[in-house]
Chains A and B, each alone.
Chain A
Amino acid sequence: MKANYGYMDGSGDYFITIDTDKCVECETRACVAACPANLFVIEEDDWDDLVALIAQDKRKSVKYDCAPCKPVTDRPPLPCMAECPFDAIEHSW
Chain B
Amino acid sequence: MAKEYWRWKEYNWRDEKRDWRDGKVITGGVDVGSVSSQAVIMVDGEIYAFSNMRTGSNSPDSAVNAMNWALEETGISMDDFDFIVGTGYGRVNVPYADKAITEIACHARGGNYMYGPTVRTILDMGGQDCKAILCDERGKVTNFLMNDKCAAGTGRGMEVFADLLNVSIEEVGDLSLDVEEEPPPVSSTCVVFAKSEASQLLRDGWSRSRVLAAYCSAMAHRVFSLLERVGVQKDFAITGGIAKNTGVVSRLEKELGLTALQPRHDTQIAGALGAALFATTLVEKGKGRKKSQTAVTG
Contacts and interface: CB of A to CB of B under 8 A. Distances in A.
Interface of A: 1-4, 7-10, 13, 15, 46-47, 60, 92
Contact of A2 (B143, B150, B188): B143
Nearest to A2: B143
A13 B229 contact: yes
A64 to B, nearest CB: 13
Contacts of A46: 101-102, 104-105, 278
Q: For this complex, into which size category does the number of interface residues on chain B fall?
A: 20 to 34
Given A46-B101, A46-B102, A46-B105, A8 B226 contact: yes
Nearest to B226: A8
Interface of B: 101-102, 104-105, 140-150, 188-190, 225-226, 229-230, 278
Given A46-B102, A46-B105, A7 B142 contact: no
A7 B149 contact: yes
Nearest to B106: A46
A4 B144 contact: yes
Nearest to A7: B149
A4 B145 contact: yes
A31 B148 CA distance: 24
B190 A10 contact: yes
Contacts of A15: 145, 229
A2 B141 CA distance: 8
Contacts of B141: 1
A86 B104 CA distance: 24
Contacts of A3: 143-144
Given A2-B142, A13-B229, A7 B101 contact: no
A2 B102 CA distance: 15
A12 to B, nearest CB: 11
B196 to A, nearest CB: 15
Main secondary structure of the interface of A (DSSP, over half): strand
A9 B190 CA distance: 8
A15 B101 CA distance: 22
B230 A60 contact: no
A4 B150 CA distance: 17
Given A1-B142, A2-B144, A46-B102, A10 B149 contact: no
A3 B226 CA distance: 13
B229 A4 contact: yes
B149 A8 contact: yes
A65 to B, nearest CB: 14
A7 B143 contact: no
Given A1-B142, A3-B144, A60 B229 contact: no
Residue among B142, B145, B189 with max Cβ neighbours from chain A (10 Å): B145
A13 B145 CA distance: 11
Residue among A2, A3, A8, A10 with max Cβ neighbours from chain B (10 Å): A8
Contacts of B101: 46
Residue among A2, A15, A47, A60 with max Cβ neighbours from chain B (10 Å): A2
**9 A-B pairs with least C-beta separation:** A7-B149, A4-B145, A46-B105, A2-B143, A10-B189, A46-B101, A1-B141, A7-B147, A60-B149
A46 B277 CA distance: 13
Nearest to B147: A7
Contact of A8 (B188, B190, B225): B225
Nearest to A10: B189
8 contacts: A1-B140, A1-B141, A2-B230, A8-B225, A9-B189, A10-B188, A46-B102, A46-B104
B230 A4 contact: yes
Contacts of A10: 188-190
Contacts of A1: 140-144
A60 B148 CA distance: 8
